[in-house]
A and B are shown apart, each in its own frame.
Chain A
Amino acid sequence: MSWLDRDRTIAPPGFNRWLIPPAALAVHLCIGQAYATSVYKTALVAHFDASLVQVGVIFSIAIVMLGLSAAIMGTWVDTNGPRKAMFVAALFWSGGFLIGSLGIFSNQLWLVYVGYGFIGGIGLGIGYISPVSTLIKWFPDRPGLATGMAIMGFGGGALIASPVSTALLGFYDPNSGAANWVASGDSVGKLFLTLAVIYLAYMMFGAFTIKVPAADWVPAGFDASKVRVKALVTSNHVSAKNAIRTRQFWLLWVVLFCNVTAGIGILEQAAPMIQDFFRQSDGNSLVSAAVAGGFVGLLSLANMGGRFAWSATSDKTGRKNIYMVYLGVGTVLYVLLALVGSSTTALYVVLAFIIISFYGGGFATAPAYLRDLFGTFQVGAIHGRLLTAWSAAGIAGPLIVNSFLDAQGAPGALTAAAYQPALLTMVGLLVVGFVANLFVRPVHTDFHEPEKPLVGAQAKKAHA
C-alpha cells in the first residue's frame, strides 16, 4: 500500500489547489448520508419487527464510532496522509453498507449493527477528519473557507441521499405505488448495495484526486511574514499528544460540546417541536405534519449553509470572535425562542434557522480554530480528539430535551410552554460555552514542538 503514502502524493509544481476542495467534498458528501437514515427507518422497523429504539441504535453506534475512530485514528491519518486515509475510509464506509445489506437480506439486525454501525462508523470518523489538515495546508490564507467547504459536504450529503434513497426504494419495491406504502426490507437491502457501490466510486475519486502540498509550497502572492500578526494565531506547532494537555484544548472541547448540544436539542426534535409550539387549545396544531417536514428540510439547508458561510466569515473576524457570535447571539436567540417563539411561525422559523446555522458554523470553524492555536503539524489528529465532544453532545442533547419533555406530558399533546425548561437549560449551556471561549488564550511555549515539525515518512520514523 506504499503507493497510497503521503510521500507519493506530494503535488508537483503548478498543481491547482482548487482540485482539493472537490476531493474533500466527495468524501464528506458520501459520509453525510448518516443524517438521512430516517428515510428507511420505518421500513427497517417493519422488516425486523423491531422497535424504533432498536433500529435507532444503528445510527447511535455509527455516531459513537465516528467520535472514537476520529480520536484514535487521528494521528495515523496525519502521519499517513489524506490519500491512504480516504482510501481506508471508503473501504470501511462502503463495507459497512455491504455487511448491513447482508444483515437485512438474512434478517439479522445484529449484522446491521456491526456493518453500518460499527464498520461504517469507523469509515465516518476517518473520512470526516481525512481531508481537514490537508485543506488547511493548501489554504493558509483562508483556512476557514477551506474547511467550511469540506464540512459543508457533511451537511449536504443528507440532502442528496434523502431524495435519491426515496427514489431507489420506490424503484426496487414493486408495491411502491400502494397507499400507506412502507418500503420492503428487500428494497432497503438493495438500496444499501447500490449506495455501497456509488459511495465507493465517489470516495475513490476523492482519494485519487487529493494531494498534499510540498513542504515549501505557498499560494501565489501569499507572504506569511506580511500577514497581520494576530495574538491567537500561532506560527509554532503543537503535537496531538501535547495538545490534549493544554487548557485551550479542553476549553474548545467545552465550547464545541455546548454549541452542538444546544443545536442537536432543536434538530432532533425539529418536526414535533414546531407543531407543539403552535398547538391550539383544541389540541390541534396550526402546523401540519407536511409543513413540519418542510421545516426540517429548511433546517438542513441552514445547517449546511452555516458550515460554509460562518466558517468562511471567521477568516475575516477571527475564530474567537465568531464563536462569541455563535454562543452569545445564540443565547439571545434561544431566550427569544423560549419566550416569544410561539407568537408567529415566521419568527419561530427565522430564529430556528439562524440557531441551526450557528450549530453548523461551530462544526466547520473548529479545525481552523485548532490550526490557529496549535499550528498545522497534527491538526487533523487534534481535530479527531476534539470530535469526542460531538459524540458526548449527541448523547447529552437528546437526553436533556427528551427528559424535560417526558416530564411535561405525552407526545402530541405538548405546547410551547413545555419546551421552556429544556430551551432555558440550553441557554445555560451556551453561556458556559461563551465563558469557556472567553478564557481561550495562546498556547504556552512549553507545549510547542522544539524544531520544524517532521512530515510523512520522517514523522512516521520519529513516532516509531
Chain B
Amino acid sequence: MKVLKVILAWALVGIPLAFGISQTLAKVTALFG
C-alpha cells in the first residue's frame, strides 16, 4: 500500500512532466533534425 502511494504520487507529477519534456523535445528535434 505504501509503495502504491509512492508510485501514484510520482505518476501524478511525472506524467505531466514527461509530457512537457516530450513536447519540447519533439519541437527541438523537428527544428534541428
> Do A and B assemble together?
yes
Interface of A is mostly: helix
Q: Which residue of B lies closest to A160 (CB)?
A: B20
Q: Is there contact, CB below 8 Å, between A291 and B31? A: yes
Q: Is there contact, CB below 8 Å, between B20 and A294? A: no
1/0 contact string of A17-31 vs chain B (CB within 8 Å): 011001101100100
B17 in complex: contacting residue of A16, A23, A156, A290, CB < 8 Å: A156
B23 CB to nearest A CB, Å: 4
B31 in complex: contacting residue of A14, A22, A158, A294, CB < 8 Å: A294
Residues of B within 8 A of A300 (CB): 24
B27 CB to nearest A CB, Å: 5
1/0 contact string of A291-306 vs chain B (CB within 8 Å): 1011101101100100
| Measured CA separation A444–B32 after assembly (Å) | 52
Q: Which residue of B lies closest to A297 (CB)?
A: B24
Chain A residues numbered 101-155 whose CB sits less than 8 Å from any CB in chain B: 153
A216 CB to nearest B CB, Å: 21
A131 CB to nearest B CB, Å: 12
Q: Which residue of A lies closest to B15 (CB)?
A: A160
Residues of A within 8 A of B17 (CB): 25, 29, 153, 156, 159-160
Q: Is there contact, CB below 8 Å, between A294 and B28? A: yes
Question: Number of contact residues on B: which range applies?
Answer: 20 to 34
| Measured CA separation A290–B33 after assembly (Å) | 13
Residues of B within 8 A of A22 (CB): 6, 9-10, 12-14
Question: Number of contact residues on A: which range applies?
Answer: 20 to 34
Q: Is A209 an interface residue, CB under 8 A from the partner?
A: yes
Chain A residues numbered 263-314 whose CB sits less than 8 Å from any CB in chain B: 290-291, 293-295, 297-298, 300-301, 304
Q: Is A404 an interface residue, CB under 8 A from the partner?
A: no
| Measured CA separation A298–B29 after assembly (Å) | 10
Q: Given A160-B16, A160-B20, A163-B23, is A23 in contact with B9 using a C-beta cutoff of 8 Å?
A: yes
Q: Is there contact, CB below 8 Å, between A294 and B27? A: yes
A301 CB to nearest B CB, Å: 6
Q: Is A172 an interface residue, CB under 8 A from the partner?
A: no
| Measured CA separation A294–B27 after assembly (Å) | 6
Q: Is there contact, CB below 8 Å, between B27 and A156? A: no
| Measured CA separation A223–B4 after assembly (Å) | 28
A14 CB to nearest B CB, Å: 8
Q: Is there contact, CB below 8 Å, between B6 and A18? A: yes
Residues of B within 8 A of A16 (CB): 2-3, 5-6
| Measured CA separation A205–B9 after assembly (Å) | 9
Q: Considering residues B5, B21, B24, B28, which has the most beta carbons from chain A within 10 angstroms of its beta carbon?
A: B24
Chain B residues in the interface with A (C-beta under 8 A)? 2-3, 5-6, 9-10, 12-14, 16-17, 19-21, 23-25, 27-28, 30-32
- A sample of 4 more A-B contacts (CB under 8 A), given A19-B6, A209-B9, is A22-B14, A156-B20, A202-B12, A300-B24
Query: Could you write out 29 A-B pairs with CB less than 8 Å apart?
Result: A16-B2, A18-B10, A19-B5, A22-B6, A22-B9, A22-B12, A23-B9, A25-B17, A29-B13, A29-B17, A156-B17, A156-B20, A159-B20, A159-B21, A159-B24, A160-B16, A160-B19, A161-B20, A163-B20, A291-B31, A293-B31, A294-B31, A295-B28, A297-B24, A298-B28, A298-B32, A300-B24, A301-B24, A301-B28
